[in-house]
Chains A and B, each alone.
Chain A
């Protein structure tokens, strides 16, 4: 079985790598690989769904929910942030970077500003403990603050002060105030370096795998605005959630026209599109 270890920080360049964290890094990267392959597999299944004459709605819903779960988790631990960082150059302001991350994030309300989530907090990429199984089956993802995501060990490390810190984080983010968010980040980042197990509580505690309503991803639309229309299917498949005029994966049953004739997109330019992101998307589709 995999040993428990700590996950390496992603984006910082000045972290020190100890032996223990090396092992942990291997575990974590293996977990990330498996999770990524699961995401790729799910996206391909969803795409194939749309190619079928009449998709099985139950199956589509279950796969889409799985994709959402993975995306949420990847957002939580910053992996998605790292991915989208490649899309937008380092010269961009934090707000733009976060909006880019918004691409596959989900907001609570459809017409709300893009929630900045705790991506801010996780820019530093918290250390976290991950236990991975060969087939990803026993990987635990914590739902709520009170859930223990791993076999007891992390639960013991949780303290009430941490939880309240988490709640403060959440509030700061809900207000979409970058400034306060960054402050929180600095505070908690200091804490992270000394007490790694506790931050796991933050990592998993802040987020809930809820079924909140998906939002129109205007950033997403902008990314694809100069893309060939055949990518609309890709679009649908990737997010499963789109603005009202566009068709979602389940609308095929309701619509009169096939999905290729997507109606016009409402888009507000917020992020540059990049060839890299196109390649990445193609990678996901092709599953290379």
Chain B
């Protein structure tokens, strides 16, 4: 099923869900393995899970809508007394575990602690206890004259979230990534300088598999920015750095994977070198393709697709917002140059998506090499309306409907996007609003 980037067919159905709960900035968005559930984490430490409605047979043309399924407080602000530092409750990453029974499991991480949450449904309740009343009060034993067997009665669906494991005290620096391994038994967590490997059942221990902390912290010039496990090979993982490099490591080689198996770096173009070269080369996200053959990296201005078999340069490079290259000094001044954009693949690896400023997000079709810019905003979209492609005017005459670079709102940034694993449904987080777009079915 090819994803068509024809504007007439793209994203015909728009659902947007403004966060009704004390509108907090969304910090992570993630579909589960089936796409039925969509989890979001926010700056206040809350997790909100949306569930897709079953498609109604009566309304053939409508796709299932996503409605709130469960909300819970995952992390609370903490205080590190030793360092006199507050630990933010902001959820940095959520990763789902594959479903193995009726319950759903996900990992959520803030700067320091990872928690395994179990989300389960309860739609039955036992009634008719012998020793207690319906409201829970103990019955007077002398009043009990008969015995009865409690009966399960249906009740309103209740979705409960309970923390099953808490993986704490393993990270000195801020956690930027978590990734579930394909063995479904282990997962890795990465902070600025170290990567740890955990077993999902064991919370008091983790293995340190990468450590790039220099003996003398003044020598520090490079940090880890993202890490991910290979989707099929449970011994392989990659991590990216602030210098624009990616290292692929094989856990079979050694216990400490400080020596990489593969080193991916694109040689710098000397003609475009500037004081900002290093900053804009810093990789903010790395994602394996579903096939496991490619990986994608996001730096400040571009998205690059790498073939795992070729280390010296990417096989594809897509410019996200090249018109910002001449504005780097201003973007450095207002700190926007440090924004960490994420990127994602579609289910078939034929398209990739990433966010930009002004609530714009970009999609690239790898086969046709066509790209599109769309906007996630309430003013410009009505429910069920088709999204209009946007264009940024870089110079000269501004055409109608184009927006000039200087009019872009750099406070409206789309850092987090997610693509349904099987269908053309995307979730886009624009500050404190979540937008879900679906492709029209003909």
Residues of A within 8 A of B (CB): 34-35, 38, 41, 45, 53-54, 56-59, 61-62, 64-66, 69-70, 110, 133-143, 147-149, 151, 211, 213-214, 240-242, 244, 248-251, 253-256, 258
Contact = CB atoms under 8 A, between A and B. Distances in A.
Contacts of A69: 275, 278
Given A244-B216, A250-B220, A57 B275 contact: no
Given A135-B328, A256-B83, A141 B218 contact: no
B270 A253 contact: no
Interface in B178-194: 192-193
9 contacts: A54-B85, A57-B173, A59-B335, A69-B278, A135-B330, A142-B273, A147-B273, A148-B270, A254-B172
Interface in B362-390: none
B351 to A, nearest CB: 29
B75 to A, nearest CB: 16
A256 B82 contact: yes
B223 A57 contact: yes
Contacts of A142: 270, 273
B219 interface: yes
A61 B221 contact: yes
Closest 10 CB pairs of A and B: A135-B329, A248-B218, A211-B221, A57-B192, A250-B217, A147-B270, A213-B219, A137-B328, A54-B85, A241-B218
Contacts of B83: 253, 255-256
B270 A149 contact: yes
Contacts of B221: 61, 64-65, 211
Contacts of A134: 326
B218 A138 contact: no
Contacts of B328: 135, 137
Contacts of B28: none
B218 A140 contact: no
A69 B174 CA distance: 26
A146 B173 CA distance: 38
Given A57-B223, A138-B326, A250-B217, 14 more contacts: A41-B333, A58-B192, A58-B223, A58-B225, A110-B216, A133-B326, A135-B330, A136-B329, A139-B274, A214-B219, A242-B218, A244-B216, A251-B217, A254-B217
Contacts of A138: 272, 274, 326
A91 to B, nearest CB: 34
Given A38-B275, A137-B329, A151-B271, A54 B86 contact: yes
Interface of B: 82-86, 172-174, 192-193, 216-223, 225, 242, 268, 270-276, 278-279, 282, 325-330, 332-333, 335, 338
Query: Which of B84, B225, B273 has the largest count of A CB atoms less than 10 A from its CB?
Result: B273
B278 A65 contact: yes
A248 B270 contact: no
A285 to B, nearest CB: 17
Contacts of B274: 136-141
A59 B329 contact: no
A137 B192 contact: no
Contacts of A240: 218
Nearest to B328: A137
Given A57-B174, A58-B242, A69-B275, A137 B326 contact: yes
Contacts of B223: 57-58, 61
B271 A140 contact: yes
B279 A143 contact: no
Contacts of A211: 221-222
Contacts of A41: 332-333
B398 to A, nearest CB: 20
A238 to B, nearest CB: 13
A139 B273 CA distance: 7
Query: Which of A34, A53, A62, A136 has the largest count of B CB atoms less than 10 A from its CB?
Result: A62
A241 B219 CA distance: 8
A142 B174 CA distance: 34
A141 B275 contact: yes
Given A54-B85, A62-B338, A143 B330 contact: no
Contacts of A248: 216-218, 220
B10 to A, nearest CB: 34
Nearest to A150: B271
Given A66-B275, A147-B270, A58 B329 contact: no
A83 B193 CA distance: 36
Contacts of A251: 217-218
B413 to A, nearest CB: 16
A2 to B, nearest CB: 14
B271 A143 contact: no
A95 B82 CA distance: 46
Contacts of B218: 213-214, 240-242, 248-251
B242 A213 contact: no
Contacts of A148: 270-271
Contact of A70 (B192, B219, B275): B275
Contacts of A256: 82-83
Contact of A137 (B193, B219, B325): B325
